[in-house]
Homo-oligomer: A and B are copies of this chain.
Amino acid sequence: VEARDAEQVRALAGDLHEADAADILVALHADDRAPFVSLLGKDFDFAALTEVDEQIRVAVLEELPTEVVVEGMRELDSDDAVYILEDLDEAAKAEILEQLPIPDRLSIQRSLDYPEETAGRRMQTDFIAVASFWTVGQTIDFLRNQSELPDDFYEIFVIDPAFRLAGTVPLNKILRAKRQTRIADVMNETSHPVLATEDQEEVARLFERYNLVSTAVVDEGGRLVGVLTIDDMVDVMKQEAEEDLRALAGVGDEEISDSVTDTVRSRFIWLLVNLATAILASMVISLFDGAISKMVALAVLMPIVASMGGNAGSQTMTVAVRALATREIDRRNMVRTIVRETTVGAINGVLFAVLIGIAAGLWFEDVLLGVIIGAALIINLVVAGLAGILIPLALDRLEIDPAVASSVFVTTVTDVVGFSAFLGLATWFLTG
């Protein structure tokens, strides 16, 4: 297909939804992506670029002539235009902005002036606002006569003469009302407006909590500056959940399309931290080298205690990290949760202590060894439960993201406690 046959390409891919066009872009060889966009010309919907990974987006935009990009951007909603521009370097950004019509340029510039990951950055600046003294009939006539409306909208905003937000009216309410009804009588006052400087994750949580489809964005003076819609917030929610998952596994903000070098770099740091932890655990073991040389069974069994503790710790930690991220843990249920996790650790500790104690006792024909590994396991599972909940809570209090840092600390604690409890008890009772 990439024999640069414009006719053919346009016939095949000209009519696709942006998400499908994005898929084609991703599947193409890197060298064919920009030509694909050029060949499609006016038939390429630049919104497709919002659906691909950052690396691919930036590469395609850098290869395309500025005129083509400017032409494509003119057709976009302001939020998509901002999304596409924000990752480019300053020079490229300025060059494109310069060639856009003034109204587009101003609204994009205004969004770009808000910090990354805020409501202001994500908002769409085209919206429909009417005065509260208008009637439903006037509003409908106004909509019929406007040509420059946003592609999709779900509510109309009501403003006062100073452009301050007074309320919102869902479209279905306008359709249900008689023409002569005043807008003020159908509008909702609780419209959950968000400040343009608010963090996008907080806003996404608001959408989820109140089942919103769109919401107004206001500046510090309460003036309406934009609108956020659910589709953008769905992306934020997805991104947030994935960040937690990746952070817990020690993977940075990587995409499946990242280069090998980027991936090596992002994972190296985590492995380095893990190396430090592992060396610490080794040092603990080396304290007991006398006992091990007298009784090799200790070396054989010790990984069991550490590994069970590590697993129990990450179970608790995962639940705690997600509960903190979704605000399910707060002051009211904190103590209850800590007690609960420690109890769970203790009960599982006793259950597994019996199992492993019997197994180890039979394996090495040594009852005392079975008792010691059982005791070490109980200690380590209780500590694992405590560490799994207290470490994320402490990090959260210190305003460090618990997802990123918890697992290192938890594993360090369970390794150190596991090895020293088992080897320490063994030294005391068996080989002393």
Contact = CB atoms under 8 A, between A and B. Distances in A.
Nearest to A408: B311
Copy count, this protein chain: 2
A172 B175 contact: no
Interface residues of A, number: 100
A209 interface: yes
Interface string A113-146: 0000000000000000000000000001001101
Interface stretch (A1-9, A56-64, A294-302, A390-398): A294-302
Interface string A288-324: 0100110011111111101110011011011100110
Nearest to A246: B318
Interface stretch (A83-91, A93-101, A233-241): A233-241
Interface stretch (A30-38, A195-203, A220-228, A351-359): A351-359
B213 A343 contact: no
A365 interface: no
Contacts of A296: 289, 292-293, 299
B213 A230 contact: yes
A328 B175 CA distance: 41
A328 B281 CA distance: 38
A318 B355 contact: no
Contacts of A242: 241, 322
9 contacts: A140-B175, A152-B170, A213-B230, A256-B323, A256-B333, A264-B348, A267-B312, A274-B311, A278-B308
A275 B323 contact: no
A308 B176 contact: no
B234 A208 contact: yes
Contacts of A348: 264, 267-268, 271
B172 A154 contact: yes
B323 A303 contact: no
A260 B337 CA distance: 10
Interface in A47-83: none
